[in-house]
């Protein structure tokens, strides 16, 4: 087979290799493990490898939901991998910025107020994400990992685990719906009801230039509750509660109700976004304002709140709102 010269220049063909699962990765889904292990490979390609059985565990086909067990032997086929961008340490200003945004910390986890516009992890086009920067800050915690994710554009409470045991416990709580997540969002138009529950299944569609999420009956169950805090002439400030944690869940459920989130360039309304832009909105108006859960370890009750960002508060002031009005 002939290989395009430009592809040869930009990519390297790996050989078949095997990875043995260490104890700290026991319980992790195979798709998430591969996304982390094969950082330069598009997610769509990883899921295609799993569907076709090219990735095997202990010589057997597995699907994307398979959870790894200590000692599992993973076969990874030959792949053309984009050459890794030269690794550079994060800027000291980035590390300092994150250090100043720590909302809670103990020996096993920390919660930061994630800034908008910063990806939670590195990728093909992002050299440094929040987790990579924090690993430079916490050099004594080699297993520092994201307990969950937030979109790049979303700000607010982000939980990072320092130990794999706590990471597994938080993941179990997330699967069981025992992590309470609260968001603040500004959406288009007037809601008919004070409280609206949206129960629509979502399916993630992978494409060459990324992914999108659609409401589809064969998708994964997703439940969101929207509470109107303040209604304006053209927009509404909402408190949003997530009962499941699907990708882009709030954004797609809001759009499905005819009330897309302000500043949403993927699922939003262009004209509405232009109006809010004139009022000072330069980003997605979605903020993870609070997270709450119980850890069996030590019987701890974790409840952390992140103040609304100054730029978002300014937009609300321009709309003439009282944030606390209900």
Query: To which CATH superfamily is domain 92-168 assigned?
Result: Pseudouridine synthase (3.30.2350.10)
> From residue 54, how far is each of 22, 58, 140 by CA, in Å?
21, 12, 36
How many other β-carbons are positioned within 10 Å of the β-carbon of residue 214?
13
The beta strand positions in 200-299, using DSSP E, are 202-207, 210-215, 223-231, 235-242, 286-295
CATH class assigned to 177-319? alpha beta
Token reading at 272: 């509405």
Task: Pinpoint the residues of the chain covered by CATH 3.30.2350.10.
Answer: 92-168, 177-319
CA distance 211 to 209: 7
The CATH number, out of the four listed (3.10.290.10, 3.40.190.10, 3.30.230.70, 2.60.120.380), of the domain defined by the range 11-81:
3.10.290.10
Regions of the chain short of the pLDDT cut 50: 1-10, 83-86, 321-326
| Residues with catalytic roles | 151
Q: At what angle do helices 43-52 and 30-37 cross, to 10 degrees?
A: 130
Token reading at 176: 């069981």
Phi/psi of residue 203, nearest 5 degrees: -130, 130
315 SS3 class = helix
Query: pTM for the full model?
Result: 0.76
Cα diameter, the chain: 66
CA distance 15 to 116: 39
Task: Pinpoint the residues of the chain covered by CATH 3.10.290.10.
Answer: 11-81
- The whole-number pLDDT of residue 12 equals 58
Cβ proximity of 287 and 308 under 8 Å: yes
- The whole-number pLDDT of residue 124 equals 53
- The whole-number pLDDT of residue 209 equals 59
Interior angle at CA 99, CA 96 and CA 100, nearest 5: 90
């Amino acid at each position: 087979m002939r290989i395009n010269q430009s592809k040869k220049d930009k990519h390297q063909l790996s050989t078949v290799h095997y990875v043995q699962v260490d104890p700290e990765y026991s319980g992790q889904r195979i798709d998430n493990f591969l996304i982390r292990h094969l950082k330069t490979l598009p997610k769509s390609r990883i899921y295609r490898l799993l569907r076709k059985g090219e990735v095997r565990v202990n010589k057997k086909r597995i699907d994307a939901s398979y959870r790894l067990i200590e000692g599992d032997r993973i076969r990874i086929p030959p792949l053309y991998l984009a050459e890794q961008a030269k690794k550079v340490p994060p800027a000291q200003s980035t590390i300092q910025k994150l250090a100043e945004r720590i909302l809670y910390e103990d020996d096993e986890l920390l919660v930061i107020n994630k800034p908008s516009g910063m990806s939670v992890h590195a990728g093909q086009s992002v050299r440094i994400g929040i987790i990579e920067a924090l690993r430079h800050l916490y050099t004594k915690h080699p297993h520092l990992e994201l307990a969950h994710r937030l979109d790049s554009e979303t700000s607010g409470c982000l939980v990072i685990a320092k130990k794999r045991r706590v990471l597994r416990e938080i993941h179990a709580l997330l699967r069981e719906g025992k992590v309470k997540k609260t968001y603040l969002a500004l959406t288009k138009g007037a809601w008919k009801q004070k409280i609206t529950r949206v129960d629509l299944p979502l399916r993630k569609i992978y494409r060459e230039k990324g992914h999108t999420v659609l409401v589809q009956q064969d998708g994964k169950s997703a439940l969101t509750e929207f509470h109107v805090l303040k209604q304006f002439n053209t927009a509404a400030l909402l408190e949003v509660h997530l009962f499941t944690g699907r990708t882009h869940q709030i954004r797609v459920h809001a759009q499905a109700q005819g009330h897309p989130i302000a500043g949403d360039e993927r699922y939003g309304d262009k004209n509405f976004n232009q109006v809010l832009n004139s009022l000072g909105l330069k980003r997605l108006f979605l903020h993870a304002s609070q997270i709450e859960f119980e850890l069996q370890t030590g019987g701890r009750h974790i409840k952390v709140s992140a103040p609304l960002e100054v730029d978002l508060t300014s937009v609300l002031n321009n709309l003439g709102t009282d944030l606390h009005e209900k």
